[in-house]
Amino acid sequence: MTKTSFDLVVVGGGPGGYVAAIRAAQLGMSVALVERAELGGICLNWGCIPTKALLHSATVLRACREAAHYGVTGAGGARPDLAAMVARSRKVAGRLGQGVAHLMKKNGVTVFAASARLAGSGKLALDDGATLSAKHIILATGARARDLPALPVGERIWAYRQALVPTEIPKSLLVVGAGAIGAEFASFYRAVGAEVTLIDMTPEILPQEDAEISQLARKAFEKQGIRVLTRCAVTASSTTADGVKVTLEHEGKKLEQTFDRVIVAAGIVGNVENLGLEKTRVKVEKTHIVTDDLCRTGESGVYAIGDVAGAPWLAHKASHEAVLCVEAIAGLPVHAIDPLRIPACTYSYPQVASIGMTEARAREHATKTGGEIRVGKFTFAGNGKAIAMGEDQGLVKTVFDAKSGELLGAHIIHPEASELITGYGVAASLEATEEDLMHTVFAHPTLSETLHESVLAAFGRALHA
């Protein structure tokens, strides 16, 4: 007979949910995981992982086309095999999904393939008729793409799921939303040959990033042939035999254009429906569950982590919250997550990565507190490894408190930005000062030397600028 009583039940099997289940099992709890779809959640199956697989295919294609520059002949005529790219992407996601299933079995986590809703104190009702009881319940139900009334998803208007499994390369493509998801899809589809238009309502693409970095990203995208329109919104659309006829409002003017396909990447909403929250003390604001710094909701014994608990909507934030939440339940000493120490990455070409405050936010903070900041910049054009790789375009930017030397923010634009940002993440977590970073020995020749040079530049000591 299947066990129905546990110390902890986790609802949702994404990067937050399955990590919470593993950590709880490691701490000796009896654990169940309820997942209505695929283990690994959206991130593993329809988000982070499959998009990166497609983007890597684009990177290989780009490298082949530019091979002659590196003294390699015969690869310049490389063409995309879209079906093979998509098949590989799905295979990668499938492999990792099997890995999560193995981890659940290895750690003794009971998995229920069902939907669940709160059904009274310490109880969950599953849609298959079963009832689970638990001392603690973690809601990790994630989020989904925001619907735009002017762009109903269908055969020609895609959300991320449809965009990940195309059967043909669109001749022309409109990407609505120039955040991380939109920028990544724009990069992939441009690399495989689509004529791409990327739009956003804000003044710059990647609006959460430092303004200087966003502007550099825009220039890089436009150099690749991506048409970028900011302060632009879709007001109406209609599907025709030839594509999608879209009405755009761009800086007060109306534009009409027909695109072969449209991708909607205009934010997300939390999956808070049908969880049985109505008769509980759990509060929901703007489609996200309200929690304290230990992931506790207003209902005793009920917790929320990951995307459903609000920004930043990042898989690594969800996983970190999972460990924090479970360890707090177990009575271990924990530290609340500082949002300014969570790195953000966009895997476009070039990549953009950041941690902490933008320069504008740091200046605003300094003005309010009577302090000052110091800003350092170093371009990859001065880095030997970047020049050897043929990837010498990009910038590392650091922001420090002038008096204390605290690292307030770091921002990188470069094809390897996502791998480099963790250096600053470690520094921020260890509360390293500019002196600590200056005294750190960086291997040569490496791209990471740019991290060092940017710190030196902030204090007037750059060696290769």
| DSSP per-residue codes, 156-185 | SEE-HHHHHS-SS--SEEEEE--SHHHHHH
Dist. CA 123–CA 84, nearest whole Å? 46
- The helix/strand/coil state of 82 is helix
* The pLDDT of residue 86 is above 80: yes
The backbone torsions φ and ψ at residue 219, rounded to the nearest 5 degrees and listed phi first, read -60, -40
Dist. CA 399–CA 409, nearest whole Å? 5
pLDDT band per the 50, 70, 90 thresholds, residue 1:
low
pLDDT computed for residue 163 by the predictor:
96
Strand partners, 258: 245
Burial class (CB in 10 A: 0-12, 13-18, 19+), 245: middle
Q: Do residues 15 and 318 touch, judged by C-beta distance below 8 A?
A: yes
Average pLDDT, the chain: 95
List the binding residues for FAD. 52, 307
List the binding residues for NAD(+). 177-184, 267
Question: Could you report the per-residue pLDDT of 382-414, keeping only the tens digit for each?
Answer: 999 999 999 999 999 999 999 999 999 999 999
Dist. CA 340–CA 12, nearest whole Å? 26
Which residues are tagged catalytic? 444
Domain ranges of the chain: 5-145+269-339, 157-266, 350-459
Task: Fold for 157-266, please state it.
Answer: FAD/NAD(P)-binding domain (3.50.50)
pLDDT computed for residue 252 by the predictor:
86
pLDDT (mean) for 293-309: 97
Burial class (CB in 10 A: 0-12, 13-18, 19+), 389: middle
Apex 182 CA angle, 176 and 184, nearest 5: 155
- Determine whether domain 5-145+269-339 maps to CATH 3.50.50.60: yes
- Residue 210 tokens read as 């430092």
pLDDT computed for residue 74 by the predictor:
87
List the binding residues. 52, 177-184, 267, 307
Question: Could you report the per-residue pLDDT of 20-49, keeping only the tens digit for each?
Answer: 999 999 999 999 999 999 999 999 999 999
* The pLDDT of residue 218 is above 60: yes
| Matching fold, domains 157-266 and 350-459 | no
The Cβ of residue 271 has, within 10 Å, a number of other Cβ atoms equal to 22
Dist. CA 60–CA 82, nearest whole Å? 13
- Determine whether domain 350-459 maps to CATH 3.40.30.10: no
CA-based nearest residue to 437, from 445, 449, 447: 449
Q: Do residues 452 and 464 touch, judged by C-beta distance below 8 A?
A: no
Name residue 446's amino acid: T
